[in-house]
């Protein structure tokens, strides 16, 4: 028995939008810090890596075969396609 779950495209897009908004806020905070420019660049690169990992996790969750909204594995009646 395979445990299925629901994670539709709108939920994925909303989660990615929240991740990007959070990233933008963190970049603004880093830019307002009074530190040297190379350290700011390093911090922003770390934030980019974190953002990319979070977006990749959201995409993996959406494209997982257990997701019933993954149209690559289910038809419109949510029957498993082999």
Q: Judge whether 19 and 54 are in contact, CB under 8 Å.
A: yes
Please check the confidence at residue 9 and state whether its pLDDT lies above 60. yes
**Coil, strand or helix: which one is 67?**
strand
Structure tokens at 22: 């959070």
pTM: 0.81
Between 4 and 75, name the one with better pLDDT: 4
Structure tokens at 43: 């911090």
The confidence score (pLDDT) of residue 66 equals 82
pLDDT digits (tens, 9 = 90+) for 25-72: 999 999 999 999 999 999 999 999 999 999 999 999 988 878 878 767
Q: Judge whether 68 and 5 are in contact, CB under 8 Å.
A: yes
> How big is the CA angle at 74 (ends 58 and 7), to the nearest 5 degrees?
25
Q: Judge whether 65 and 71 are in contact, CB under 8 Å.
A: no
């Amino acid at each position: 028995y395979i445990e299925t779950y629901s994670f539709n495209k709108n939920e994925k897009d909303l989660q990615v939008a929240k991740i990007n908004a959070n990233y933008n806020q963190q970049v603004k905070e880093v830019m307002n810090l009074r530190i040297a420019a190379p350290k700011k660049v390093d911090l922003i690169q770390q934030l980019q890596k974190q953002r990319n990992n979070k977006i990749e996790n959201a995409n993996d969750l959406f494209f997982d075969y257990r997701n019933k909204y993954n149209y690559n594995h289910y038809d419109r009646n949510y029957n498993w396609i082999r």
